[in-house]
Structures are given as C-alpha cells and as structure tokens.
Amino acid sequence: MARTDPALRRTAQELSRPGPHAVARGDLEVAGIPGVVFTPRSGRGLAAVAFGHGWLQPTARYTELLRHVASWGVIAAAPATQGGALASHRQFAEDLRTVLDVCVRGRLGEGDLSVDSSKLGLLGHGMGGGCAVLAAASEDRCAAVVTLAVAETLPSAVAAARDCRMPGLHVAGGKDLLAPALGHADLVARAWAGPVQRRTLPKASHLGFTAGQHWSDLLIGSSPENRTRQMSRALVTAFLLRHLTGVTGTDATAYDALLAEPHPRD
C-alpha cells in the first residue's frame, strides 16, 4: 500500500487519537511495587500490557502513551523501578513479569475490571524495550511484544529474542544515536523466533518517543517529538488491538495494512 494512500493515513490518524474508553489512573504501590497503572473505567476479560521505561526515564514521560493505550481498552501498567544509571536489566525484566501478575490477580481501579490471562503483552522503550524482550523470553503467557527504540541489555535482548515465539513489533528511530536501528532493533528483529515486524521512523531520535522535559535530554542529546509520538501511538495501538484483543473484520484489515507499511510516515 502506497505511503500516500488516504485510507492508510486515516487509520494512522484515528489510532493516534484517544480511543472510546474513559480512563482511570491508579498506583501500583498498593500491590507492593512502585509505579502507575492506567485502565479503562470498566471491562471484563481485558487485555493488559506491562511497560518498561527507558534508561534514566521516569514513568511520567510515558503517561501520554499509557493513557492512550488504556483509552483503546488495554490496561497499561508501568513499574517505576531500576531508574538509576546502573539499572539491573535482569531485575527490571522480573519487575515487568511481576506487573503482569498484578494485572491478572490484583484489583485494579474502582470499576468492574478483570484481565484475561491469555491477553497479556509487554511494551517498552529503550532499555525498557530490551527488558521487555528478556521478560517475554521466559513468560509463556505473553502474547505480543512491542519495543520502541529498543536497546541491548545484559543479559542480551538479542539472545533472548531467539526464545520469543509470540508476535513482535520493533519500532526504531532513524536518528537514534543511543540505540541505532542497525545495531539494536535490526538484530533483535532478525533473532526473533516468532512472527516479527520492524519499522523505522526516519526522523525519530531516541527520546522522540517520550513526552515532557527531563534533565536526561541534555545527556542523551535528543528530546520529545510530537510526530514521533503520534505515529508510534498508532503503530502500538494497531499491534496491540490486532494481537491481544482479537479485532476482526474491516478494522483488522486496516490495522494490518498500517503495520505492513514498510516506511510509516514519521
């Protein structure tokens, strides 16, 4: 499908806007782990994703994305752990798996909510994307993984990708100097054991996927970018709805077309 296809553009615009669900915000601290959770106000048998933040990044920089995912009917929970310069990637991966447990077994929000354990996913940015891959490699319940500007980890996310048999989407930034696509996202995608898609947003930098200002912008040498966030929201939403909620019909066809686009507009 051509890049200028109006239908493709309309799908991207629709999925980059908030979905039909009212959203509630909660605190993971009540379950014994620091962090935030965004949920639809109500819903039974919902899908849920655990989100991993980037290196040195507070979860507040991802509020826009987490709230957006929840507005489309998918619970999004982000642990606020391993925020220092010497973060443990192995422990952060375990934290992401713990958050999935919380989503399945815990009481989330004040509404009538429940999560279907067959509809769990992992999502992450930078270091958190690499840790999402580590978590997925040892998490049989995980049905989908999305990474944004995925960074290599210790232990290796590239090696872990060989054990990931669920569908994966890896979105890279063409101007990412911290986790260049050819050295990170490409290697993870090529090692992926299951169905995989890799997309590059040509003008995106490493922190283009975040929102708001932070002192790390100066250290990393990039900053938030509205077009990067807009397009990545559309791709993340299309992939999660397609692989976690089982959307069918014309919507499924439109989402597949967006995800199949070799070079999404940034």
The model's confidence at residue 265, banded by pLDDT at 50, 70 and 90, is very low
Residue 168: both structure tokens together: 């994966």
Domain ranges of the chain: 6-260
pTM: 0.94
Instruction: Please name the residue ranges forming H helices in the chain.
Output: 6-16, 63-71, 89-105, 127-137, 157-161, 185-191, 216-220, 226-244, 249-260
Round to whole Å and give the CA distance between 66 and 116: 19
Query: Quick check: bond before 262 cis, omega within 30?
Result: no
pLDDT tens, 129-158? 999 999 999 999 999 999 999 999 999 999
Is the pLDDT assigned to residue 200 strictly greater than 70?
Answer: yes
User: Could you tell me which CATH number the domain at 6-260 has?
Assistant: 3.40.50.1820
Span 65-86, mean pLDDT?
97
